[in-house]
Structure 1
Amino acid sequence: MKSVIVGGVCVPPSRATLILYDETFIQSEILERNEDWKCSKCLCELGSLLRLKNNVSLDRHKVPNELVEDSIFNHSKVVLQLRQRALQCKAWRRSSTDLGSTNLLWMMVIDLILGFCFVNMFHSLGGTTEVLEKFLQSVKLIADYLQLLIEWLMGVPVGLKLNRPLSTVLGKFFLYHLYLWKTYIDIIRPIVSTVIFISSTVGLIGLSFQMALLSDLITMASLHCYCFYVYATRLYGITLSGLRSTFRMFGGRKWNPLRSRIDSGEFSWDQLCVGMFIFSSLLLLLPTLLVYYIVFLALRICVLLLQGTLKRLIWIINSIPCYSLLLWIIGSPSLAGDVLFEVIPGRDSTLKLVWIKLPFVESMIRSLNPSSPKYPHVNWSQRLNEMVSGDLIYPL
């Protein structure tokens, strides 16, 4: 078959699907089974063939995700985004469908255009020097506010009567680390200047790289907050663990780590006295530790929410199929959800093919970038359990 003429228009053979069906077989099938013509097995098979031909959905599991050795650079969002861009280019070269390759191409082009616009806005703000000064001023301002917060906790915060010696020890410990952080900021000033200068160049390869770099800068600027959170969380977790262990001891029970269960146990009077002393001491120290833990937990959650928002924006840029979105808006048959056959009454049994538009959400899910990772869902119940039990909360 060299050419196909439909309604007087010549259609290339590669864009057409030739289907031969037996009119007598279809009619006899309907009559013999005494069922509606829409339930005909022959017509259902024809519809399935057309769906496979015209509605291409990308299989995300067929795109290789190369394993890389674990290193400190794997925690950098810029490195992860560079790796993601390499996977996108590889998926674009290996794509066997026009829809998939066009979606990937449009996605990368739009990312480049947005990155170019961001670089222009960056230079309009004064360039590297001006942005560096604003960034360092913001970091030092946050450190000053954090110092005031720690000094406030060392006093009588919100009228709470805390354990004064423990609060003083914790406050001086955190203030010393804050002083080290301010010194660290002055040391890394040339490094930050280089990073910001590189960001103006990296922005030319996409807005997603700018967001990834911003996430890394937030991680670097909030390193002291993360250290304070780890210290407070470990102290709070150890206190809770000690309270649970001593409380079980009063009931004649103990934790068996070999079988991961609670067994019965016998304790002497001296052991019970020591356990009572430890339990009372930890219970009296718990309110002070809890106040510090809640404050630094709130700071940690604010940083994680900001980084989680940037992470999801990067995922949207790397995954949303802009070309498929345009096809869905104009009602292209390339995103048809289903096909139906209508019988036109007459001497000749003629079938009319009817396209059914695919729902918006389903069409976007089918056309998502196959090289992008899965959407980063958050298990809020698990996060809440980690907050209450004193476990570390990792990036959302």
Structure 2
Amino acid sequence: MDKERKRKDGRTRGKQIFVYFPLSPSSASSIVYGAVKPNRNDNNCISVYVVSFENNAKHQFEALGTWNADHLARDDSSSCWIQLVKGSHYAKIKSVIVGGVCVPLSRATLILYDETFIQSEILERNEDWKCSKCLCELGSLLRLKNNVSLDRHKVPNELVEDSIFNHSKVVLQLRQRALQCKAWRRSSTDLGSTNLLWMMVIDLILGFCFVNMFHSLGGTTEVLEKFLQSVKLIADYLQLLIEWLMGVPVGLKLNRPLSTVVGKFFLYHLYLWKTYIDIIRPIVSTVIFISSTVGLIGLSFQMALLSDLITMASLHCYCFYVYATRLYGITLSGLRSTFRMFGGRKWNPLRSRIDSGEFSWDQLCVGMFIFSSLLLLLPTLLVYYIVFLALRICVLLLQGTLKRLIWIINSIPCYSLLLWIIGSPSLAGDVLFEVIPGRDSTLKLVWIKLPFVESMIRSLNPSSPKYPHVNWSQRLNEMVSGDLIYPL
């Protein structure tokens, strides 16, 4: 029995004890509570987590020892008992008893931590932090003590049936605001819920300022007149542009019959558009009136409404762009098909590949005639295509800018931005161990501030949509090949 006891005492004394203790204790002297966890990777290591200075039956923490209270009796039911006392600047370990055996102080390491940054939600998303089982366990115990949960309820972007209303930016923004409110109600983290609340409040304040500016411009009547005047002015300039293309633009000698036919076709649609402006005048007046009220919901709604108004005002430009693109695309397709014919090849639609083919002399003659005709008509169609493509790109750039401004308002974590500026430990992104001078067995956890962009990315609102990236190589390929360019 004595040999067995000595062997057991030897194994206990050979264990390495890591004691996690708050850097700034909330009590001057008391019994400390927490949990004892064996190291999963090393059986000779034991981690002791001191997280509370008061007993709470709800948390079911066990008594682990005393802090600055040598007069308090030891709890015999505890498997581990540690006496900690206040040193010159930091706490220090006085004695460690594990399983009734006193462990040498050389085998005990004190790790001081700051409870504020240990519970950082940004830190929980660090991959290196996740790999540290001991630190993750410490964070879990602290959240248990403070009744804080990091369970993130993912709020998906709800898909609805396709309809004409889904193309309205105002309708999409209304759905986005509904998702934000749902995410705010479900959010169980302080950082996430505060970011969402700040975002919606700032959006409301900016929207209120925009409404005041709107009324300072004269209200609905003045804004309506300015809007319709701008639309008519654009239509007049567009008419002059088409008439210029029907002549000799920049000295280019175009196919006059084709240019005349295409130009008159566009002028006819432009005339219909001017008539359409007078028809939609009451509708635009109602929309602008509603915007003065919608602005109280937020600036993002005003931007969404402005994007819809731009779509409405540039509808004729979009129609002209579609016509020119289809004519240009059909011409290119015909040139490619007839050019393949001269090489004895043809497109196989069943296998989606180019196969060899045999053509008669009559077919080659017809192909030569079509190829020559399309090649001669191509410069005229190309000029019209380039002009209306440029107009389309201008409209898309304006709408794309508004779309990204709306994304910024819906996504930027304003509260996290403020915490990053003031250097709050609540936004800690990583930690490192720092040895306290003169005390090799005492370490201090120090938090590291992440770069601005990385901190903002980790703090993005849970309901924020994906950033609208643009594949410029794909867009360039669409421009060259004559495919329609959709909103950026």
TM-score (norm 2): 0.71
> CA distance change for structure 1 residues 249 and 103 in 2, over 3 Å: closer, same or farther?
same
**Residue 211 of structure 1, CA deviation:** 0.2
> CA distance change for structure 1 residues 245 and 335 in 2, over 3 Å: closer, same or farther?
same
**Conserved in 2, the CA contact under 8 Å of 1:55 and 1:336?**
no
> CA distance change for structure 1 residues 26 and 163 in 2, over 3 Å: closer, same or farther?
closer
Whole-Å separation in 2 of the counterparts to 1:71 and 1:32: 41
Whole-Å separation in 2 of the counterparts to 1:349 and 1:279: 86
> CA distance change for structure 1 residues 256 and 201 in 2, over 3 Å: closer, same or farther?
same
**Residue 352 of structure 1, CA deviation:** 1.5
> CA distance change for structure 1 residues 84 and 254 in 2, over 3 Å: closer, same or farther?
same
**Residue 22 of structure 1, CA deviation:** 19
**Conserved in 2, the CA contact under 8 Å of 1:38 and 1:341?**
no
**Residue 316 of structure 1, CA deviation:** 0.2
**Residue 349 of structure 1, CA deviation:** 2.9
- Residue by residue over 1:62-116, the C-alpha shift from the partner in whole angstroms, topping out at 9 and shown as x without a partner, is 2222111110000000000000000000000000100000000000000000000
3-state DSSP class of the match of 2:483? coil
**Residue 4 of structure 1, CA deviation:** 21
- Residue by residue over 1:363-382, the C-alpha shift from the partner in whole angstroms, topping out at 9 and shown as x without a partner, is 10011111111100000000
**Residue 37 of structure 1, CA deviation:** 17
Do structure 1's residue 134 and structure 2's residue 202 form an aligned pair?
Answer: no
3-state DSSP class of the match of 2:113? coil
> CA distance change for structure 1 residues 80 and 5 in 2, over 3 Å: closer, same or farther?
farther
**Residue 148 of structure 1, CA deviation:** 0.2
Whole-Å separation in 1 of the counterparts to 2:132 and 2:432: 11
> CA distance change for structure 1 residues 35 and 190 in 2, over 3 Å: closer, same or farther?
closer
Which protein, 1 or 2, shows the higher relative CO under an 8 Å CA cutoff with sep ≥ 6?
Answer: 1
Do structure 1's residue 12 and structure 2's residue 104 form an aligned pair?
Answer: yes
Whole-Å separation in 2 of the counterparts to 1:180 and 1:27: 64
1:118-133 superposed matches below 5 A: 118-133=210-225
**Conserved in 1, the CA contact under 8 Å of 2:217 and 2:223?**
yes
3-state DSSP class of the match of 1:64? coil
- Residue by residue over 1:247-271, the C-alpha shift from the partner in whole angstroms, topping out at 9 and shown as x without a partner, is 0000000001111111000000000
**Residue 386 of structure 1, CA deviation:** 0.2
Q: Identify the match of residue 264 of structure 1 among 334, 356, 380.
A: 356
**Residue 353 of structure 1, CA deviation:** 1.9
**Conserved in 2, the CA contact under 8 Å of 1:338 and 1:357?**
yes
**Conserved in 1, the CA contact under 8 Å of 2:152 and 2:188?**
no
Q: Identify the match of residue 255 of structure 2 among 140, 163, 180.
A: 163
Whole-Å separation in 2 of the counterparts to 1:138 and 1:31: 52
**Residue 222 of structure 1, CA deviation:** 0.2
| More divergent stretch after superposition (233-242 vs 355-364) | 355-364
**Residue 348 of structure 1, CA deviation:** 8.4
> CA distance change for structure 1 residues 286 and 15 in 2, over 3 Å: closer, same or farther?
farther
**Residue 288 of structure 1, CA deviation:** 0.3
| More divergent stretch after superposition (179-188 vs 329-338) | 329-338
> CA distance change for structure 1 residues 345 and 238 in 2, over 3 Å: closer, same or farther?
same
> CA distance change for structure 1 residues 90 and 388 in 2, over 3 Å: closer, same or farther?
same
Q: Tell me what 1:92 maps to.
A: 184
Whole-Å separation in 2 of the counterparts to 1:233 and 1:33: 47
Whole-Å separation in 2 of the counterparts to 1:356 and 1:307: 39
**Residue 350 of structure 1, CA deviation:** 2.5
**Residue 344 of structure 1, CA deviation:** 2.5
Q: Tell me what 1:175 maps to.
A: 267
**Conserved in 2, the CA contact under 8 Å of 1:58 and 1:368?**
no
- Residue by residue over 1:13-48, the C-alpha shift from the partner in whole angstroms, topping out at 9 and shown as x without a partner, is 999999999999999999999999999986797689
3-state DSSP class of the match of 1:350? strand
Give 4+ residue runs of structure 1 displaced > 4 Å after superposition. 1-61, 345-348
**Residue 331 of structure 1, CA deviation:** 1.0
Q: Identify the match of residue 317 of structure 2 among 225, 231, 241.
A: 225
**Conserved in 1, the CA contact under 8 Å of 2:436 and 2:444?**
yes
**Conserved in 1, the CA contact under 8 Å of 2:153 and 2:183?**
no
> CA distance change for structure 1 residues 330 and 57 in 2, over 3 Å: closer, same or farther?
farther
- Residue by residue over 1:156-188, the C-alpha shift from the partner in whole angstroms, topping out at 9 and shown as x without a partner, is 000000000000000100000000000000000
> CA distance change for structure 1 residues 36 and 151 in 2, over 3 Å: closer, same or farther?
closer
| More divergent stretch after superposition (129-138 vs 5-14) | 5-14
**Conserved in 1, the CA contact under 8 Å of 2:199 and 2:413?**
yes
- Residue by residue over 1:304-357, the C-alpha shift from the partner in whole angstroms, topping out at 9 and shown as x without a partner, is 000000000000000000000000111111110112222335578322121111
Unaligned runs of 5+ in 2: 1-92
**Conserved in 1, the CA contact under 8 Å of 2:344 and 2:359?**
yes
3-state DSSP class of the match of 1:62? coil
> CA distance change for structure 1 residues 11 and 306 in 2, over 3 Å: closer, same or farther?
farther
> CA distance change for structure 1 residues 246 and 10 in 2, over 3 Å: closer, same or farther?
farther
Structure with greater proportional helix content: 1
Q: Tell me what 1:290 maps to.
A: 382
3-state DSSP class of the match of 1:10? strand
3-state DSSP class of the match of 2:447? strand
Unaligned runs of 5+ in 1: none
> CA distance change for structure 1 residues 250 and 113 in 2, over 3 Å: closer, same or farther?
same
Do structure 1's residue 152 and structure 2's residue 244 form an aligned pair?
Answer: yes
> CA distance change for structure 1 residues 202 and 232 in 2, over 3 Å: closer, same or farther?
same
Whole-Å separation in 2 of the counterparts to 1:358 and 1:369: 18
Whole-Å separation in 1 of the counterparts to 2:233 and 2:247: 22
> CA distance change for structure 1 residues 209 and 26 in 2, over 3 Å: closer, same or farther?
closer
Whole-Å separation in 1 of the counterparts to 2:265 and 2:138: 74
**Residue 53 of structure 1, CA deviation:** 11
Q: Which has the larger radius of gyration?
A: 2
> CA distance change for structure 1 residues 390 and 6 in 2, over 3 Å: closer, same or farther?
farther
| More divergent stretch after superposition (5-14 vs 220-229) | 5-14
| More divergent stretch after superposition (313-322 vs 48-57) | 48-57
3-state DSSP class of the match of 1:19? strand
**Conserved in 2, the CA contact under 8 Å of 1:43 and 1:341?**
no
**Conserved in 1, the CA contact under 8 Å of 2:348 and 2:354?**
yes
Whole-Å separation in 1 of the counterparts to 2:225 and 2:181: 37
**Residue 10 of structure 1, CA deviation:** 31
**Conserved in 2, the CA contact under 8 Å of 1:383 and 1:393?**
yes
| More divergent stretch after superposition (52-61 vs 375-384) | 52-61
Do structure 1's residue 321 and structure 2's residue 410 form an aligned pair?
Answer: no
Q: Identify the match of residue 102 of structure 1 among 184, 189, 194.
A: 194
